Chain A
Amino acid sequence: MRRILAILLENEPGSLSRIVGLFSQRAFNIESLTVAPTEDESLSRITIATKGDDKVLEQIVKQVNKLIDVIKITDLTERSHVERELLLIKVLAMNDKSRTEVKRITDIFRGSIIDIGKQVYTIQLTGDADKLNAFLKTLAHETEIIESVRSGCVGIARGEKALRV
Chain B
Amino acid sequence: MSTPLFTGAEMVVKALSALDVKYIFGYPGGSVLDIYDAIFQQNDFEHILVRHEQAATHMADGYSRATGEVGVVLATSGPGATNCVTGIATAYMDSIPMVVLAGQVATSLIGDDAFQETDIVGCSRPIVKHSFNCRRVEDIPNIIAKAFYIAKSGRPGPVVVELPKDILIPENKAKFHIETNVKMRSYNPTKKGHPKQIKKAVQAITKAKKLVIYSGGGIVLANASELLTQLVETLNAPCTNTLMGLGGLSGTHKNFIGMLGMHGSLEANKAMANADVILALGARFDDRVTNNVKKFCPNATIVHVDIDPTSISKTINAHIPVVGLVDIVLQQILDELTETQFSPDKTALEQWWQEINEWRAVDSVSYQQDDSKIKPQRVVEAMYKITKGEAYVCSDVGQHQMFAAQYYPFAKPRQWINSGGLGTMGFGLPAAMGVKLAFPDSHVICITGDGSIQMNIQELSTCLQYNLPVVIVTLNNRSLGMVRQWQDMIYGGRHSSSYMESIPDFVKLAEAYGHVGIKIDRLDELDSKLTEAFEIKNRLVFVDICVDEKEHVYPMQIKHGAVDDMWIKKGVKA
Contact = CB atoms under 8 A, between A and B. Distances in A.
Interface in A51-81: 55, 58-59, 62-63, 65-66, 68-71
Contacts of B126: 21, 25
Nearest to A42: B185
A135 B126 CA distance: 40
Interface residues of A, number: 20
Interface string B37-60: 000000000000000000000000
Interface stretch (A9-17, A87-95, A109-117): A9-17
A68 B130 contact: yes
Interface stretch (B95-103, B305-313, B338-346, B560-568): B305-313
Contacts of A62: 309-310
Contacts of B131: 14
**Which applies to chain A's interface (DSSP): helix, strand, loop or mixed?**
helix
B187 interface: yes
A9 B186 CA distance: 8
Interface in B473-501: none
B314 interface: yes
Given A13-B133, A14-B121, A14-B133, A68 B310 contact: no
A9 B121 CA distance: 19
Contact of B186 (A25, A59, A63, A69): A69
B122 A17 contact: yes
B187 A68 contact: yes
Contact of A68 (B121, B133, B150): B150
A158 interface: no
Interface in A1-47: 9-10, 13-14, 17-18, 21, 25
Interface in A137-155: none
Contacts of A25: 126
Contacts of A55: 313
Nearest to B121: A14
A63 B131 CA distance: 16
Contacts of A21: 125-126
Q: How large is the interface on B (under 10, 10 to 19, 20 to 34, 35 or more residues)?
A: 10 to 19
B309 A66 contact: yes
Interface in B352-381: none
Contacts of B150: 68
A141 B187 CA distance: 52
A165 interface: yes
A25 B129 CA distance: 14
A33 to B, nearest CB: 17
Contacts of A58: 313
A165 B185 contact: yes
Contact of A18 (B125, B184, B187, B308): B125
Contact of A71 (B121, B122, B129, B185): B185
Most chain A beta carbons < 10 A, residue from B121, B122, B187: B187
Nearest to A24: B126
B287 to A, nearest CB: 15
Most central of A9, A55, A59, A68 by chain B CB within 10 Å: A68
Interface string B499-521: 00000000000000000000000
A10 B186 contact: yes
Question: Across chains A and B, which 10 residue pairs bring their CB atoms closest together, nearest first?
Answer: A68-B130, A62-B310, A71-B186, A25-B126, A62-B309, A21-B125, A68-B187, A69-B186, A63-B310, A66-B310
Interface of B: 121-122, 125-126, 129-131, 133, 150, 184-187, 308-310, 313-314
20 contacts: A9-B186, A10-B186, A14-B121, A14-B125, A14-B133, A17-B125, A21-B125, A21-B126, A55-B313, A62-B309, A63-B310, A65-B309, A66-B309, A68-B150, A68-B184, A68-B186, A69-B130, A71-B185, A71-B186, A165-B185
Given A14-B125, A18-B125, 18 more contacts: A10-B186, A13-B133, A14-B131, A14-B133, A17-B122, A25-B126, A55-B313, A58-B313, A59-B310, A66-B310, A68-B150, A68-B186, A68-B187, A69-B130, A70-B186, A71-B185, A71-B186, A165-B185
